[in-house]
Amino acid sequence: VVSSGTQSLPAYVIQKLELDKKHGFTLKAVDDSGAVNANWTAFKSGQVDAIISDWISLARNVEQGNKAVAVVPFLGWGNGILVPEASGVNSLADLKGLKIGVYSRIAPDWIFIRAAAKKLYGFDPEKENTISEAAPGLLLGLMQEGKVDSALNYGDLNNILLGMGGFRMPFQISEIMEGIGLSTEAPFLFYTFNQDFIDKHPETVKAFAAAYKEAIEFLKTDEAIWQDIADRQKITSELTIKLMQENARKNIFTEMTPQMEDNIHAIFGVLLAEAGEKELGISYLPEGLFQQP
């Protein structure tokens, strides 16, 4: 797990409420093994039995021979565009010609923006905007220093600047997706387990899924836990913690539905059409990528 932000919350709540013990297993959360790229390193080296992964990275790794399966859906599309409060940007159309900071040019979020800008407003941001690619943390500084007019960043980091004041979010990626006909009833991040672990311990995987669902329901209904989260993550802004709370309630999933896999395949089709196999690193989603626990 990562040690801060939304991705840290389920494991924290499971351990705090001892939901693992309630459901008959012991959860060991390996802090910061879930950071970008570190999660798959930990997985491949056998340091962990499960990680949080996006399904594109999962598909790439399965194609490379790694025995991994997405079992429990987690987080949806809460990232967004941030602009200074005085900015005239109110929609995707208003981004044309501006300097945009992005956390990754191959991230689905940015690919959706490219596809939507072409389809809905007739411009290509890669050609008609100045794009600065920087690590998510560095984007905060670029925005504060005024070196970019807008930034596409992770929801948790956007919430930090929103909590400080002087910035606003004209739209989230979920709105861009819906604008080009995609359903957001499809998480991007899943709890991904080693297939061998699933085969050997199917009841433990089911128990984890049950504990996770209970933890998320607690996050969505209990107010007091959010002060604990704020203290733990050293968040002093009431607005930031409120935005984190809203994001969790809106964008966290708890179980697979029959429509989810179809929605994911439709999303992948748009990504592949816009970015191509070379950029995505894969041309199709392998069979059996998603399983019910």
The pLDDT tens digits of the residues spanning 216-232 come to 999 999 999 999 999 99
Structure tokens that stand for 207 in this block? 């128990």
- Supply φ then ψ for residue 15, to 5 degrees: -75, -40
The pLDDT score that the predictor gives to residue 33 is 66
Q: Give the mean model confidence (pLDDT) for residues 270-291.
A: 95
Identify the three-state secondary structure at position 133: strand
Contact 143, 89 (CB under 8 A): no
So what's the pLDDT on residue 173? 96
Please check the confidence at residue 94 and state whether its pLDDT lies above 70. Answer: yes
Three-point CA angle 13, 249, 198, nearest 5° = 55
pTM over 0.75: yes
If you search the block for the tokens 């999303």, which residue do you land on? Answer: 267
The alpha-helical segments, DSSP class H, found in the chain are: 9-16, 19-22, 38-44, 55-63, 108-121, 125-128, 136-144, 155-164, 173-179, 195-200, 202-221, 225-232, 238-251, 258-280
**109 falls in which pLDDT band (50, 70, 90)?**
very high
Predicted pLDDT at 3:
80
Residue 260 CA neighbour count, 13 Å, CB half: 23
Residue 258, pLDDT score: 84
Share of the chain above pLDDT 70, in %: 98
Q: How many CB atoms lie within 10 A of CB 32?
A: 13
Please give the pLDDT value at position 2.
85
pLDDT at 34: 58
Whole-number average pLDDT of the chain: 94
pLDDT at 80: 95
Contact of 48 with 271, CB cutoff 8 Å? no
- Mean pLDDT, residues 270-292: 94
- Find the range with the poorest average confidence among 2-6, 54-58, 143-147: 2-6
Is the confidence at residue 79, as pLDDT, over 80? yes
Asked whether the predicted pLDDT for residue 279 surpasses 80, the reply is: yes
Task: List pLDDT tens digits, range 5-63.
Answer: 899 999 999 999 999 999 999 999 998 765 667 899 999 999 999 999 999 999 999 99
Q: How many Cβ atoms sit within 10 Å of the Cβ of residue 151? A: 27
Give per-residue pLDDT as tens, 168-182.
999 999 999 999 999
